[in-house]
Structures are given as structure tokens and as C-alpha cells.
Amino acid sequence: MKSLTAFTLSLLMVLTFYSVSGCKQHPEPERAQASSGMTSEEPRESQGDVLPAGGDDVLLLERINRSLASVADTVKPSVVNISTTTTISMKESPFGDFFNDPFFRKFFGDQFDPHGRQRKYKTSALGSGVIVTADGYILTNNHVVENVDEIKVILQDKREFTGKRIGTDPQTDLAIVKVQAEGLPAVRFGDSEKLKVGELVIAVGNPFGLGNTITMGIVSAVGRSHVGIADYEDFIQTDAAINPGNSGGALVNIHGELVGINTAIFSTSGGNVGIGFAVPSAMAQSVMGSIIKHGKVVRGWLGVSIQEVTPELSRHFDIKETKGALVADVVKDSPAEKAGVKRGDLIVGFEGESVESPTALRNMVAGRQPGSRAEVKLIRNGKEMTLSVTLGELPKTAEAGETGEYDNALAGVYVQELTPAIRESLNIAENVTGVIVTRVDGDSPAAAGLRQNDVIQEINRKAVRSMKDYNEAVSGIKEQDNVLLLVYRGGGYLYVTISP
């Protein structure tokens, strides 16, 4: 009986809701009947749930439509097509182009036509760029203009210019190109640090060389790292469609302001699957300013080796916090050592900002100018303290030692020195020497053979005792060479072979 009563009440509520909704949707029933030639006594055909065209909803959509179109019209002139030409050398085969096919060479290599002579070929590629100053400075991706012979910049109004590469920064995959022109339509910069997940964004570029193309989406995530695209990663993730050719294009907010430089997509097919990445405009502005002023990117340097706080390390160091950057080692005579930073310290704040991870701290420090002072908040033996540090300039050796970007079988393998703190935390014996693997990208040829925390002791039978040994060994490996590694893993040794 109670069930029947409850069902009856629910039904009455639903009918009441539809009745009230009907009244709101048809405020003037007499006028509607008159226009259709019906009287109040005449039967009316059931309209179901079909709503009339018009009203506040349509007006709202029209306003949104006009706003988006206005943003697109504002931004499109600032986004350019970048066409590049590169000269490459290949052996000429008496069998024609068949044996030069990349698919064939993947399986058979170069054993055919050993006496073929070298021929030069020109290849072309397309990308995008964003005009950021009226006098011709253009932001784009490093991979768009890296190692190219010619750069052609084509504006929306079809004007063509020869571009000059002013500087590049592979660590963020950014580059600056300059054209000789005045009065160009420069984009306005927005504040990428204020972006929030869920905000509307628009991507503008030249996918597949089709010309200026607009796609829309939302900010899916901010602060994305460990993507494997660049060394300094703080990506904006978006579901706005980004396809090949969009690289270097603009990601703008609803005000038409530049908040990111489109860089890459995560895809198994090569096409858009709703996961795209853009370099934040704040990082792009910093890199651009440094390149224009110094001819290179000048980064701040603290002088510490840092790592994630794992549950095991938390127990070992008696740390309750789950965020921050754990100091594994302090470089001798570095700014950190002079300020009093020690191994085992957990850095949780930098210049008033919370440090969520080692990547976040690395980006914060790199974005500061050498010589500037910074307040570092840390936890030592359960007690919170703040140290004042005068940052130095990141040395090239330190920058090269943090990652190993090579075009061979060990591409995408990240290593660092085996410090005493790391040795102790991972219980690695004193007689084990080498460099420790901190990360292996998923698309790296070494992904199937190497693991995080492996200690590389030999490369192709050559001993590796330091980062210098590692870099010298890896730089001598050719693109198609197989690699033999001696690795210490889990208390034992094993050989690992890696094929490109």
C-alpha cells in the first residue's frame, strides 16, 4: 500500500512539473492558436517535447556564436604557416627508390648497394607559428625549425617572408623566428598561470597544411609533466583538436589572448584523439625574452638533485607530507650548499609558492634569473624552516646531466648520478657504480628493457662510472646501432639488449 501511495505521489509530481514547464514554454497560447488558424474548441495536434525556435536560449547561443567568431577573427591574422626545407643525403641504389623505402630499410638495413654513391634530396615540412611582436618576432616549436635549411613564413593575407632562426630551446621545444616586416598583427599575451580546468580555449594553426584552422575545446588539465616531449614540462592539456601541422600554433582564451603554444598530441594513430599539449604562455614569454636579450636561455640554478617522495622514502625519512621535492644530493659549492640545504631535506615551498613535485620546483627555479634571491621553505627532521638562497646560472654540464636526449636506441632514457642518498634509500651496495635510470619514456626503444632505478654499469662493454662516461658512450652510438647494457637491478646483474 505504501509503495502504491509513493508511486502515485511521484506520478503527480512529474505531471505537475510537465504542466508548469509547458506554461513557461508557451506563455501566449491564444496567439499561437490564432496564428495557426485554430480556435480554443478545435482539437490541437500533440507537439510532444518539441520546443519552439526562439527565446532566451537561442539569444544566448547567438551571443556565444558571435563571441567565438569575433575571437577567431582577432587571432587568425597572428597565426602563420611555417614551411621548411631540409637537405638530406642518401645512397643512390641501382634498383631505384625501392631500396630507399624506409619500410624496406627497417628490415634489411644498408647491406644492399654498398657501393652506391651519395645523393642529396630536399624534404619539406609544414608547421605553424604565432606573431608576438609587430616588428616580426614569431614563436614556434623547436621541432618545427630544428636543423632546417630554409624557413618560409606565410601570413593569412598570403604575404610570404623568409624567416631567420633567432634562437631555439630544445629543453622546452620552443624557438624564435624573425621576419623583416613592420606593422604585423601581433597577438596579445594572456596569463597562463590563471588558467583553470574547464575553461574554454581555441586552438589556431595549419593542420595538414590546409591553412588557417580553428578548433575549440576546454582546458583538460594544467601543469602536465612526465609527458616525454621536453625537459622542462608544464603543459596545458586540452581536448581542442590539434593535428600534424598545428605545432607552433596558438592556444587562446575567450578574450583572444595567447595562453599557450600548441606542441604535441598524445595519439596511437597520429591523429587527434582529444589529448593535446601546449607550452604555457608564461614559459614561452620567459624563453623568448631570454633568447632575444642574451642569445640563449639563461636559467636559475639551485644545485640539488631532487626526487619524488615515495611511501618507502616517507617511512625512511619519517616524512608525513606526500608533496614536495626530496633532496637526494647537494652539489659542492652550489647556491644550495652555501645556503645550508642538506641531503634528506624536503623542499615544500619556493618564493611563497607550494612545491607539489620535483618537476614543479625545477620549473620554478629555472624561471628565475641568476643572482636573484629566493626563499626556500623546507622540512628537516620533522621541523619546518626557511632558507634564503642566491640562485646561480644553470651550467651546461648540469643541464646535460639531467637528461640524455639522443637520436639512437637510448633516446628517451633519463639518468642521473648515483648519489650516496639514492644508494642508501634504494639499498644499493657500495661496490655498485654507474648511473641510475630515473625515467624511461613509453615510446623509447629502451622501454621494454630498462626500468626506473636500474643502475647502468656498462654500455657496449665500456664501463660507466659517471654522467660523463654515460654521455660519452651514448653520444657515440649511431641511430641504427643495437646497444648492449650491463644493468644492476634488484640485487643482481643482467645484460639488456636494446634495438632502435
pLDDT tens track for 454-474: 999 999 989 998 888 888 888
Q: pLDDT for 52-83, tens place per residue?
A: 556 777 888 888 888 888 888 889 999 999 98
Number of Cβ within 10 Å of residue 190's Cβ equals 21
pLDDT digits (tens, 9 = 90+) for 428-446: 888 888 999 887 877 788 8
Domain boundaries 401-498, corresponding CATH code: 2.30.42.10
Instruction: Round to whole Å and give the CA distance between 256 and 234.
Output: 22
Give this prediction's pTM: 0.62
Domain 69-102+116-295, what fold? Answer: Thrombin, subunit H (2.40.10)
Of 290, 282, 289, residue with least CA distance to 257: 282
- Whole-angstrom CA distances from 497 to 472, 486, 500 are 19, 9, 10
Residue 449 has pLDDT above 70, yes or no: yes
131 three-class SS: strand
Kind plus residue range of the DSSP H or E element containing 62 = helix 56-75
C-alpha cell at 359: 618537476
C-alpha cell belonging to residue 433: 657504480
Respond yes or no: is residue 247 known to be catalytic: yes
Give the pLDDT confidence score for residue 42 in this predicted structure.
44
383: β partners? 380
CA distances from 375 to 323, 345, 389 (A): 18, 15, 6
**Measured CA distances, 485 to 107, 434, 454, 460 (Å):** 23, 11, 11, 6
Q: Which residue matches cell numbers 504542466?
A: 19
How far apart, in whole angstroms, are the C-alpha atoms of residue 12 and residue 172?
62
Least confident of 37-41, 204-208, 448-452, 478-482: 37-41
| pLDDT score recorded for residue 32 | 39
CA angle 137/139/140 to nearest 5° reads 140
Q: How many residues does the chain have?
A: 500
Looking at residue 274, its pLDDT comes to 77
Cβ-Cβ contacts under 8 Å for 172 (sequence gap 6 or more):
142, 230, 231, 232, 279, 283, 284, 287, 297
pLDDT at position 429 is 86
Domains 300-394 and 401-498 equal at CATH topology level: yes
Question: Which pLDDT score, from 0 to 100, does residue 349 have?
Answer: 92
Q: Which one of the listed residues 247, 281, 357, 425 is annotated catalytic? A: 247
Beta bridge partners of 415: 437
Q: Are 438 and 476 in contact (CB under 8 A)?
A: no
Whether the predicted pLDDT of 250 surpasses 60: yes
- With bands split at pLDDT 50, 70 and 90, how would you rate the model's confidence at 40? very low
DSSP state of 111: -
Q: Give tens-digit pLDDT for 388-428.
A: 999 998 876 454 444 445 778 888 888 888 877 678 767 88
Q: Which helix (H) or strand (E) holds 265?
A: strand 257-265
How far from 183 is each of 81, 111, 155, 165, CA to CA, in Å? 18, 55, 13, 20
83, 128, 143, 305: which one is catalytic?
143
- CA–CA dist 198, 217 (Å, integer): 9
pLDDT value for 247: 85
DSSP code for 108: H
Q: What residues does each domain of the chain span?
A: 69-102+116-295, 300-394, 401-498
236 backbone dihedrals φ, ψ, rounded to 5°: -90, 125
Q: Note the Cα 17 to chain centre separation in Å.
A: 48
Q: Is 60 exposed, middle or buried (0-12, 13-18, 19+ CB in 10 A)?
A: exposed
**Helix ranges (DSSP H) in 76-204:** 102-108, 142-145
Of 424, 310, 426, the residue nearest 358 (C-alpha): 310
Please give the Cα distance from 406 to 299 (Å, whole number). Answer: 22
The string of pLDDT tens digits covering residues 187-214 is 999 998 899 999 999 999 887 767 788 8
Which grid cell is 71? 575571437
CATH (one of 2.30.42.10, 3.30.70.380, 2.30.38.10, 3.40.640.10) for 300-394: 2.30.42.10
d(CA 389, CA 335): 6
Examine the residue annotation and report whether 143 is marked as an active-site residue of this protein: yes
Alpha helix locations (H) across 346-464? 358-366, 396-402, 420-425
The set of residues, in sequence order, having a beta carbon less than 8 Å from that of 499 and lying 6+ positions away, is 409, 445, 482, 483
Instruction: Please say whether the beta carbons of 260 and 279 come within 8 A.
Output: yes
Per-residue pLDDT at 13: 45
106 Rama sector, left if φ>0, alpha if ψ -120 to 50, beta otherwise: alpha
Q: DSSP class of residue 385?
A: E
Question: How would you classify residue 381: left for phi > 0, otherwise alpha for psi between -120 and 50, otherwise beta?
Answer: left
CA distance 407 to 427: 33
Mind giving me the DSSP string for 400-416?
A: HHH-B--SSTTTTEEEE
pLDDT at 272 over 70: no
In percent, how much of the chain has pLDDT > 70? Answer: 77
**471-495, pLDDT tens digit by residue?**
888 888 888 888 999 999 888 888 8
376/351 Cα distance (integer angstroms): 6
Asked whether 378 and 346 are in contact (CB, 8 A), the reply is: yes
